[in-house]
Amino acid sequence: MDQSLVQKASTIIDEIRTHQRTNTDRLSNVDRQIQDLKTAQKMLTEACEKPITTVTGPEDALSLYVQKDGLQLVSKRKMIQTPNGSTPVSIKGLLDDEPVCEWQQDLQSIVEDRTLLRMMQRSPHTPRTDLKLYKHLLKAPRSIKPAIEKAYSDAAGEGAEFIPDSFLPSMFESFKVRSSLADNFETIRSGIDSKTLLIPRLDKAGTPYLRGVVGDATTLTKTTITSAQASISIPSFATSMRIDTDAMEDSGIPILSALRSAIVSDIRDGFEDCMLNGDTTGAQDTLVSWNIRNRWSGTMGTTSDHRRGFDGLRKEAFDRGTNVATATLSYDDLMTLRYTIGEQGYSDCMIVVSPEILVKYFFAMDELATLDKYGPSAVVLSGQVASVAGMPVVTSRFMGADMNASGVYDNITTDRSGVIIVNRSSYKIYERKALQIQQQEEIEVGAINLVSNYRAIMATADAAATLNVAYQYLV
């Protein structure tokens, strides 16, 4: 953790807290306070962010990609024999597997750049990037160099087609680095091979009893366990960007960073919006007119609205009956909200608030502990700015400040906000496919669409009656 950034952010937060605790008009200059809070939150995010580390593993592991029929570059489906018969599995290749060494990591980065540039052109022509790729392949480790040389020399056009057409660039690293609300929940990526995921759970376990002594005719009391399973359907989040087909390599290279940033930002923000405000029925909020903080463009409220991907935390609280209408938000009110979820509120809970609620209520609480009080070894969540009663406080711009008195958006009364307390152990991110990009050409308008696709869901395997999230509104 970068302590200098933490100190700067803490100074800003302390100034806001001082204003909230000493001024009679706490809402004076509130827009400036919220802007300062966003600046402090950005500093804290940068301070806690984990940089992309250089992989320095053994290069001999690259020999795993050398197969009898040549070099395996991308994932392939294979059949393996198990005691229950043949089972299909996906084996990743040199270009889309987790890198085992620095050379493989650099290769994947170059190939990703090259593929993106070629996707942006009607007649792909990337001599500069091709030369960069060629020079890097010349430095291949000994364990894989013969297979690299053979694959490159066998490709048509003197190696121009070394990268297979089936390769799709993945934004996994960029997607992983940028912090968001989703980073605070466990992400499960392995073992998800179909759109519908079945998660078994034990609703009622056995009960222990005392065992009788020798000669005691009493039989051991028996209990019956009760099991069930949660069925989770994983949606697909996608964006489409139109690019002029006349773009050349020299003009494409400078915009690669901006292009990545835009793709990652759109998907991640849409997913976070759904985490808080999602409703598969589309009936909870007036989605057609709800453009939260003017983040979105285009038509909203249709069946393809990203907020209909899965049920968010607000919807989960309404469905579980843990929604609370309280117009004040003191420390006691917060503990009452925590009490709403019973034993699930005992540990591993997180508070999610809007910037407005954080400034107006939390900074006035004596019980609030800011990050500078934690110490250098403390575990800090993504987006966390403070903690209360051991619960990290995380802000999200998708916790709206435009709700009505019932805690929903109706485009009529738009002056309320809310706070969520969620048990992080109960909700997980199930990711079937990492963020990938595909190309779609529009010949009639001379443009190319870069379509990004991300398949994931936030869901809980808990029973519908389990109280694992609470939502207070009317504040």
Q: Contact 278/316 with Cβ under 8 angstroms?
A: no
pLDDT score of 379 more than 60: yes
Region of poorest pLDDT, from 13-17, 165-169, 200-204: 165-169
Strands 391-395 and 469-473: unpaired
Segment 36-58, tens digit of pLDDT:
888 887 777 776 665 544 455 67
Distance CA 436, CA 365 (A): 44
Mean pLDDT of 171-198: 71
pLDDT at 218: 62
pLDDT at 76: 83
> Measuring CA to CA, which residue among 75, 436, 64, 114 is closest to residue 253?
114
Distance CA 263, CA 270 (A): 11
CATH number of 179-206+222-354+396-475: 3.30.2400.10
Helix (H, G, I), strand (E, B) or coil at 256: helix
pLDDT score of 193 more than 80: no
| Residue 247 pLDDT grade (very low, low, confident, very high; cuts 50, 70, 90) | low
Helix (H, G, I), strand (E, B) or coil at 442: strand
Sign of the C-alpha dihedral, residues 81, 83, 89, 93?
negative
pLDDT at 48: 65
Segment 343-378, tens digit of pLDDT:
999 999 999 999 999 999 999 899 998 876 665 556
Q: Contact 150/276 with Cβ under 8 angstroms?
A: no
pLDDT score of 171 more than 70: no
Distance CA 409, CA 417 (A): 10
pLDDT score of 386 more than 80: yes
Distance CA 406, CA 472 (A): 10
Distance CA 454, CA 41 (A): 26
Q: Contact 65/158 with Cβ under 8 angstroms?
A: no
| Residue 22 pLDDT grade (very low, low, confident, very high; cuts 50, 70, 90) | confident
Record the tokens describing residue 17, joined without a space.
């807290």
Give 444 or 352, the one with higher predicted confidence.
352
| Residue 158 pLDDT grade (very low, low, confident, very high; cuts 50, 70, 90) | very low
pLDDT at 59: 74
Distance CA 21, CA 383 (A): 23
Q: Is the pTM of this model over 0.75?
A: yes
pLDDT at 177: 42
Q: Where in the chain is the domain with CATH 3.30.2400.10?
A: 179-206+222-354+396-475
| Residue 167 pLDDT grade (very low, low, confident, very high; cuts 50, 70, 90) | low
Segment 268-303, tens digit of pLDDT:
999 999 999 999 999 999 999 999 999 998 889 999
Helix (H, G, I), strand (E, B) or coil at 85: strand
pLDDT at 294: 94
Please report, rounded to a whole number, the percentage of residues in the chain having pLDDT higher than 90.
Answer: 37
Segment 116-139, tens digit of pLDDT:
888 877 778 888 888 898 899 989
| Residue 251 pLDDT grade (very low, low, confident, very high; cuts 50, 70, 90) | low
pLDDT at 155: 55
Residue with tokens 């969520």: 420
Record the tokens describing residue 151, joined without a space.
């694959």
Mean pLDDT of 111-120: 83
* pLDDT mean across residues, the chain: 83
